[in-house]
Structure 1
Amino acid sequence: MSMRHISEGPSLVVYQHAEEAGFLAELRAQAVRAPHYDLDDLRTLDERLEAHLDGLRIAGRAGLDLLLRQLGAQASGEVFAATVLACESGDAAVLARIAEQLRAFPETGRGFAAALGWLDWTSVEPWVERLLAAPEPLFRRLGLEACGRHRIDPGPALPAGLAHAEPGVVARAARSAGELRRRDLMAEIRAHRRHADEAVRFWANWATAQMGDEEALEPLRRFAGQAGEFQWRALSVLVGWQDHAFSVAWLRALAHNPAQRRPVILGAGLLGDPLAVPWLIRQMHELPLARIAGEAFSLIAGADLALLDLERSEIPDFDAGPTDDPRDPRVAMDPDEDLPWPDPARIAAWWQANGASLETGRRHLLGRPLDEAQCRQVLCRGRQRQRNAAAVALARLRPGEPLFPTDAPTKRQQVLLDAHG
């Protein structure tokens, strides 16, 4: 890049703001599901992101034009930043340019939807109304997602979405209906229980299960046994809505299959019954399962492995992948990368000294009996995956309230938490 180009275009500072805003937007999308971020960490990340967005706002048109030039196949973060600026300024021409980007690269729509969720509802409402009325399924789906992120009922657009021909629209409508607890749409959602599209099938059953539909539990059990994006969500709903004794027996039956040990570990942690702790400690000896077993133990017992010195003194020589070898089938990133390595002997000793205070046969969350007060405490103090578990559990205890949005901007989350003391 020549100095002449720099002098005539945006300054290096503006380039930095654009780069950091895009990077932090992508990082935030991962952080809201990460095991090592708590609400304070997320708040710090939000403040950093907002600071770079402020820098782009100050840069004016130069900052926005820079973002638009950077759009492309891998530009979800840039789409996020450009959408924020365009919605705030009411720039329909820029939003039309972003729409072209979304048509060409639909996968970057996640940045667009995140931006609509980031902004205050008053800033995005006019644009969301246009999306909900759009003839293109892509934009209809994004409008429904924006409403879901804000926990705003889209009105007639929701049943219209459930009746849409495009599976992506139907799936998003079912999810939003579940998040909003639209029991009046139960029949319309249940009609998609056996839909050919996997996402539609999952979100339809996920939504109605949390409205008391017992027939939705069996389809969710199939999702719980399959690795993939729906597994954790299926498990969290199942352990909340199934009979406790049934869940214990179901997980025990799954545990007989070695290939199902990971979902059983996840389910045991979410179920929160101290009865599972000795088995979880045994799983910590197996390196591929050790860290997720440690997380499940903490979810039940409330023991912070790092704070209580319950980690291994040396990190094991274990590589979950991926590698540079094209013949290596391990192409996915290590799902437990951000979890500590538990020391089974230290944890067993700690449990021997402290475990008697937790009653077997009863659900616990971070060391305390699971109730509304503890769910709200974890939403305030827990890490993101713990907070996600608390949100689902709270939805079971408060079935008339929308699902708590643990991925919302932290300012909005704090308002919701403060409203309940």
Structure 2
Amino acid sequence: MNVQAADVTSFAPPMLRRLEDTGLQMVMMRDILLKTVFRKNVEQASAIAEAICLPMPLTQTLIDMLREMGLMQAMGTLHATSSSEMGYQLTDAGKARALDALSQSEYYGAMPVPLEAYKEQTRRQSVKNVRITREALQASMGHLILPDGMIDQLGPAVSSGRSVLMYGPPGNGKSSIAEGIRAALGDTIYVPRAIAYAGQVITLFDPIVHTPVATPETEGSGLRRHSARFDTRYIMCQRPTVMTGGELMLSMLDLNYNKTSRTYQASLQLKSTGGVFIVDDLGRQEEPPQALINRWIVPMEVGYDILTLQSGEKFEVPFDTLVVFSTNFHPNDLFDGAALRRIFFKVKIDGPTQEQFLKIFAMVARKKKVPLDEASLLHLLKTKYPTIDNNYANYHAPFLLDQIIAICEFEGIPYQMRPDLLDRAWENLFVKQEMIAH
């Protein structure tokens, strides 16, 4: 049975009740709070708590400790009739300490989650724990006309959380199927805004990759947010999807260090934890396919990845990702036998049959509001497709219909399907092989 969002509380990171529960050194929490107040110019305890993503009582405890150290001071005394909060500001010593901390790292804002705590959270919400039913997978791909038996092949692959290689001729929906796999996962996980290791902070939450899910705690007043029933250093999100294509470089799979700000950003692999990493158009990258797959072999087998800090220190991070490779090349042309053995599922995506092509054509025509014409379809099947050995592809229908629409709009006539319009559209489907004089 598929894990639903309502069940996500069963693996929610427990809410913080003491500063010790953060798992962070007091020096790190001190410096992050000082840098945050300095950079964001927040004064009230509730605003500071929201900025550093700690509960209000813990934030107040930190503020009181910094006041005792002479790094912060109160800006005024509340009266019994006053409804406003006490304001705080950095002392000269606090500003000096904040500037010194910023010279070491520009990171400020949310308190990070220790790496070990994040590993434990990853185990609780592992993508391998998701059990996808046939119905859920079919529903996520309901907009696709799939070859017979495709769900039988994809189901075990997705449900196991193991790597998948989809290959076959171009334009037959491999990318759309990969997106359907992501949609089938369906539930939510908790993503930390940042993680901490060896005194370094690595930002992990990425709004491009992670889609937050509204909860009662993340809506409404700041007071409600501070009373969340889980560790607010995390954000509840849909299971993430990272999709890359020809732009993928090996460097994207390692930590990104900004020398100017002296801060780290998580690798694409780390951002995809708990979700799907889709490598589209494998074989079109500058990096050789064998080099890319070699980078994944160990993480896929052992469940963890090795990252490196600027100091050269290496450390383990979770690798809990369903990796989906999609290529127009034959696998034997891309990888050696050892690499192929390590890709657990290999699924060939062939072009549609004539019957499936007609279903796709009718569905796309209906969507684009182009009336079907029997004579035109017969002309297409009997005259045009025999010239390419009746090799049908999923992308042909939307391509031809978009061409017809463009012609009709240019000619100033209603959308319609005619043999002569299909002939004009067909000319743009393929480029005639000929010598060009230079």
TM-score in same-fold range (> 0.5):
no
Larger C-alpha radius of gyration, 1 or 2?
A: 2
TM-score interval for Structure 1 and Structure 2 normalised by the shorter chain: under 0.3
Larger strand fraction of residues: 2
Question: TM-score, normalization: structure 2?
Answer: 0.23
